[in-house]
Amino acid sequence: MLHETSKIPQATTKRLPLYYRFLQNFENAGQKRISSQELSEAMKIDSATIRRDFSHLGALGKKGYGYDVQELLLFFRKTLDQDEATNVALIGVGGLGSAFLKYNFHRNHNTKIIVAFDSNSPEKGEKINDIDTYHPDKIEEKINEYGIELVILTVPSRSAQEVTDRLAKTDIKGILNFTPVRISVPDHIRVQTIDLSVELQTLIYQIKQQ
């Protein structure tokens, strides 16, 4: 997790994984150093925003030199805990959930869905895309057994809060919520909600304003 970035703006924290991904691309291309302008052109983010983001993180570059790709990669790897594995569970193997199981964060070596839950799965469990999948009756037991820290929630809206209440009794630290419900959680659990219908409506509005 982001141990060293608790005081920086939320918008900046959301861009940190993007910086890390694009820096990996630069490294793979053999580039030793980059400027904020080069990052800007690759990421489609204005260079002033990049410089402001990096200023929140400390002195990462040198005037007239730019940024050392290797040094930046090491910094972001440490900041994002890229060397520490995070165990993820998926609850709800419908259309979206099935897509997550197939994808399973193949570009992120430190993040993997290792267990899933679905109402159509037996209590004894089954394999879906090589992932152990159980009936939701086993949520509390298996969340603790697999050492799950993060949960991806892709259940029907009517079940979202009920499932969340059960998760609140486990040791998870965060929920990535893909339901339109604004779920309530205890203070020790962080929630990131992604409402695809809202994102689509926002994009439609922005297009019409052009």
**Phi, psi of 85, rounded to the nearest 5 degrees:** -70, 140
Token code pair at residue 113 = 């869905």
Q: What is the DSSP letter of 119?
A: T
Q: Find tokens 């204005």 and name the residue.
A: 46
Q: Is 127 helix (H, G, I), strand (E, B) or coil?
A: strand
Q: What is the DSSP letter of 137?
A: G
Query: Annotated binding residue at 125?
Result: no
Which candidate, 158, 152, 116, places its Cα nearest to that of 136?
Answer: 116
DSSP calls for 78-100: HHTTTTS-EEEEEE--SHHHHHH
Query: Annotated binding residue at 174?
Result: no
Query: Annotated binding residue at 92?
Result: yes
Query: Annotated binding residue at 94?
Result: yes
Query: Annotated binding residue at 16?
Result: no
Query: Annotated binding residue at 181?
Result: no
Q: Which residues are annotated as a binding site?
A: 92-97
Binding site for NAD(+): which residues?
Answer: 92-97
